[in-house]
Structure 1
Amino acid sequence: MRWLFFAFLLLAGLAQADGRQPRIAVIDWGLTETLLGLGVTPIAVAQTEGYRRWVQAPELPAEVIDLGLRIEPNLELLSEIKPDMILITPQFAASRAQLERVAPVHMLAIYTPEAEAYVGAQRVTRELAELLGRQAEGEAMIARIDTQMARVKQRLATRDLPPFYVMTFLDQRHVRLFGKQSIYQGVLDRTGLRNAWTGPTNYWGFSQQGIERLAEQPSAALLYLEPMPPGTEDGLAGSALWQQLPAVREQRLYGLPPVWSFNGLMAAERFAYLLEARLAPESEQ
């Protein structure tokens, strides 16, 4: 709608003219972390406790208002807090018409069929930075993270590392394996690491598989992201199939703190940092 387009231009102009940042409500966690990376704190975010559990960094300030479920945000609360704009991704497009009754809605897509997630995350960072009059901060953020990728690649280049299955557990028998199109693949490519999963992936860059698939590359290591679903750790301890996997038997198993699988550049930066800390700890230098 034309009025929305002009509203965005007006908001961006206000931010540049008097230094006031728009009051922003966000439905998606990837856009939330990108905003925080640009130095902008949203006034409200959907499922704040979920963000703190699954995303963790950048830290979400305590004063940010919880809007309820991402798929069904609290419209009454949104109307009360009167945001200047609402940010969503195509995943939550079904709510757009309702949200537009409250404030102008801007939809940005990190994940698209046309580009890998890392490139999409860079594009969304620039789009948000331009919208908010923070282009310098956006370019600095992109450059900093690219520099970190190159530094981690240099550190890991001296180590003889196997290919990695990158995964999250669904239960004791099933995992999501991340590959092409995932934000993790973008980090692996830029840090010189190899992905053991070369099979097909969906729109989000993962494929749901049984744990028996983890034996297909016997020399690979397993890299899993926490948290595990309840009961999974105990179930794996009693699973003969899991215990006989080459990577488990030979102790090539690496657990990492949470990194949200569907986020942008800040998640990529966190993943690279965690890889470096786990695979090339300072104590081994």
Structure 2
Amino acid sequence: MTLSRRSLLAGLGCLSFLPQVVSASRAGQGAGDAISPRVVALDWSSAETLIMLGLPPVGIVRIPDYKAWVVEPALPAGVVDVGLRLEPNLEVMQQLAPDLIVIAPGLETVRARLEQVAPTVSLTIYGTGQEAFPAAVAETRRLGTLVGCSTEAEDYLARAARQIDRARDRLRGYDGRPVHVVNFLDDRHVRVFGTTSLWQHALGRLGLRNAWTGDSGPWGSVTVGIERLLSDPEARLVHVAPAPEGVVARLRTSPLWRHLPAIADGRMVGLPAVFPFGAVPCTVRFADCLSLALGGGADKSSTTEGRGA
């Protein structure tokens, strides 16, 4: 039994048809006959989720940037780069013969073109003004249902929760200081993450207080001048890579930067690259990296440079 394009197009009006087709195709006549749907993911949150469900996408956008920003889960060999997020290469996508295309809401403007290639669904995590993590969990389940991996989705969510709990165990001796979590943008501005960010859930589960209590926008972050980090002078500063080239070096020469209490007192830690606008896998990676940094010596400062946003 095969997944035909005709069958999938017939299911456009009711995409709940897809998991039944997938389940039937997996049953087959035997192990050798089982197939999995071919999915192109035009946003990294769905790409990383599919990998963790054991169904890596056949194509994603901007592979070099995925490797620089998302890092984990690593892309399996053979995943094809289909171009830019807002301008995917339709010819390459057609050659991949996907059974399903997954997009974020920002791609609705090109949805009609994508539908000419394969049935297209949009997963929504950001833009609601609510905390992102519950939406990420809901969309993990929804994506699992669409591709016939509901059991795998539940298993993964349970593993993710256990991994965050293990990360919390590393912080039993933490001194209780709140944290400002930022991306460096230039030598005068940072992107600071607030209560609607994906990482807010990780902070709460780790027993940490977010020092940023201001607005955090529909994507969970706002751009502010570095002087705004004075809002809580007792906070520890956590900067997450990557940063635009040369920013860290320029910050070291900034009088304002050097006089921030967190810098003057050696209360800054640096994390490796973690994508702030992803899904559950990025939350787990953030919790792991943060607990290792704070649990392994919270007052040691580090700097990490990388690609800019």
- Specify the TM-score bucket, using the shorter chain as the normaliser: over 0.9
Deviations 1:122-174 (A, max 9, x none): 00110011112211111111111122223333432332131100010111110
How far residue 79 of structure 1 moved from its aligned partner, in angstroms, is 1.7
Superposition TM-score, scaled by structure 1 size: 0.94
Alignment of 1:51-200 (within 5 A): 51-113=66-128, 115-200=130-215
Aligned partners of 1:213, 1:108: CA distance in 2, in Å?
Answer: 33
Q: Kindly indicate whether residue 220 of structure 2 is the aligned counterpart of residue 205 of structure 1.
A: yes
CA contact (8 A) 1:89 1:108 kept: yes
Moved over 4 A (4+): none
CA contact (8 A) 1:112 1:120 kept: no
Aligned partners of 1:230, 1:149: CA distance in 2, in Å?
Answer: 31
Of 8, 15, 19, which aligns to 1:12?
A: 19
Residue type matched to 2:122 in 1? M
Identity %: 41
Q: Report the 3-state secondary structure (helix = DSSP H, G, I; strand = E; otherwise coil) of the residue aligned with 2:12.
A: helix
Residue type matched to 1:138 in 2? A
Deviations 1:87-121 (A, max 9, x none): 00102211111101111001111124264211011
Residue type matched to 2:279 in 1? G
Unaligned runs of 5+ in 2: 1-8, 27-34, 298-309
Residue type matched to 2:286 in 1? F
CA contact (8 A) 1:157 1:192 kept: no
How far residue 2 of structure 1 moved from its aligned partner, in angstroms, is 8.0
Residue type matched to 2:24 in 1? A
Aligned partners of 1:5, 1:152: CA distance in 2, in Å?
Answer: 43
Alignment of 1:192-271 (within 5 A): 192-271=207-286
Deviations 1:45-80 (A, max 9, x none): 011111011000000123111011001100121122
Evaluate the alpha carbon distance shift between residue 133 and residue 186 of structure 1 in structure 2; reply closer, same or farther with a 3 A threshold: same
Aligned residue pairs, count: 281
CA contact (8 A) 1:44 1:66 kept: yes
Aligned partners of 1:18, 1:103: CA distance in 2, in Å?
Answer: 18
Residue type matched to 2:225 in 1? G
Q: After the TM superposition, which of the residue ranges 170-179 and 151-160 deviates more from structure 2? A: 151-160
Residue type matched to 1:196 in 2? A
Aligned partners of 1:110, 1:55: CA distance in 2, in Å?
Answer: 16
Aligned partners of 1:155, 1:41: CA distance in 2, in Å?
Answer: 31
How far residue 179 of structure 1 moved from its aligned partner, in angstroms, is 0.4
Quote the RMSD (CA, aligned, Å): 1.7
Q: Report the 3-state secondary structure (helix = DSSP H, G, I; strand = E; otherwise coil) of the residue aligned with 1:73.
A: coil
Aligned partners of 2:294, 2:284: CA distance in 1, in Å?
Answer: 15
Evaluate the alpha carbon distance shift between residue 34 and residue 86 of structure 1 in structure 2; reply closer, same or farther with a 3 A threshold: same
Unaligned runs of 5+ in 1: none
Aligned partners of 2:101, 2:164: CA distance in 1, in Å?
Answer: 31
Superposition TM-score, scaled by structure 2 size: 0.87
Residue number in structure 1 paired with 2:29 = none
Q: Report the 3-state secondary structure (helix = DSSP H, G, I; strand = E; otherwise coil) of the residue aligned with 1:158.
A: coil
How far residue 207 of structure 1 moved from its aligned partner, in angstroms, is 1.1
Residue type matched to 2:110 in 1? S
